[in-house]
Chain A
Amino acid sequence: MTATVLEVSDLACRRGGRRVFEGLSFAVAKGELLALTGRNGSGKTTLLRALALMVPVRAGAILWQGTDVRTDREDWRGMLAWLGHQDGLKGDLTSAENITFAERLRGRSAEPGRIERALAAFDLIRLADRAVRTLSAGQRRRVALARVVASQASVWLLDEPLNALDAPAQEALHEVLSSHLASGGIAIAATHAPLQAARTLELAA
């Protein structure tokens, strides 16, 4: 079962007048986790942002099941779950409220059961009603990851997902990743630490 769903061909990106990468081609099959590695500044984050269409692509194409994702940007965005460098959480809202908002923003009804399961996956039930600004960096990262899980999106784009996570939280991340992949989703993660069961793509500096 190696049906390619995401195909990137000959991709080139520039940032601030500087070439970050060009001629980059890779494919991701259904149920696959791709780990992007490479030195600092090799363009891992830029590649993730280019895949999310936040950074303009100079050349090349990003194909989802054979169609260029730029033909229907909003449809493509609806399929993505994003975990950036920053957690994207509002300090004055609780963990549950942050996830509920993210779900509504994606145009989905915020079903309490689904949000609770996502929080439970990262052992956050106890913290669900705490304002996020009172949480530690690792706890916030877990809330941001729970947001990704709750989205049930088919494509996960994760920038340094293991940052600030302790060992049990890393274990939880591997668990949700493997169940996401088993259900046919894909994930692309920029990372320095090794991720279980990942195929690695090294970006040259």
Chain B
Amino acid sequence: MGVMALFLRDLRLVWRRPGDVAVVLAFFVVATVLFPLGIGPESNLLARIAAGVLWAAALFASMLSLDRLFAADYEDGALDLLLLAPWPLELLALAKCAAHWAVTGLPLALLAPLIGVAFGLDDATLGVLALTLLVGTPALSLIGGLAAALTLGARRSGALLALLALPLCVPTLIFGASAIEATATGESFVVHLAILGALALVSLATLPWAIAAALRQAGE
């Protein structure tokens, strides 16, 4: 089916240029590792700020790769083919965001626990860190996808994109970080994780329509 074809095409395009994803992951590693280096080996302080730092860095890293999400298709005319495909554009937009998540959100979630070790997080907290990123990053890809679609054709679209998307990502950031903090203080993280999941589901249920509308507007 056409939606799956688009998802696989985007993965293949990334596979042909692995550097694009490598840069994002490298940014995440470098940005987060700077904190332990800058603050010094104060393990209590590091463990306290770890949740916020790792989540904020994951957010920035996923923004970094978003500006090409629709812009590449817009510039080379492939967006017309998507607009003309006999499928709901909402599903095609979702396929593009899913491909983005598969090559950024998913590796970030897998990579974060390794970085967490540098912050002195214990095993349980590392597990929760990966879990929150796994549940929360789909919302980031969708929110970023909307910003990417809205800024198509704009000058300095990268900066505009971050300005649009980052405020919308605040709830995800808050509940992602608070789930980790709850674990560190011995409370249950389940409530925070459930809210994070709910945020992701609300994004999933609403944003593909908004993205499709923005893409149609760009195609006019």
Residues of A within 8 A of B (CB): 15, 49, 52, 54-56, 74-75, 77-78, 80, 82, 84-93, 97, 101-102, 104-107
Contacts and interface: CB of A to CB of B under 8 A. Distances in A.
Given A106-B2, A107-B2, A55 B220 contact: yes
B76 interface: yes
A90 B77 contact: no
B80 A77 contact: no
A88 B220 contact: no
B77 A84 contact: yes
Contacts of A93: 9, 12-13, 16
Nearest to A92: B16
Q: Which of B9, B12, B86, B87 has the most CB of A within 10 A?
A: B86
B220 A87 contact: no
Nearest to B92: A105
A54 B6 CA distance: 20
Contacts of B78: 88-90
B84 interface: yes
B interface, how many residues as a size bin? 20 to 34
29 contacts: A49-B219, A54-B216, A54-B220, A74-B86, A77-B84, A77-B85, A77-B86, A78-B86, A80-B84, A82-B80, A86-B75, A86-B76, A87-B77, A88-B76, A88-B79, A88-B80, A89-B76, A89-B78, A90-B9, A90-B13, A92-B16, A97-B12, A102-B81, A105-B2, A105-B6, A105-B82, A105-B85, A105-B87, A107-B85
A182 B78 CA distance: 29
A75 B87 CA distance: 9
A56 B78 CA distance: 20
Listed residue (A49, A82, A89, A101) with the most chain B CB atoms within 10 angstroms of its CB: A101
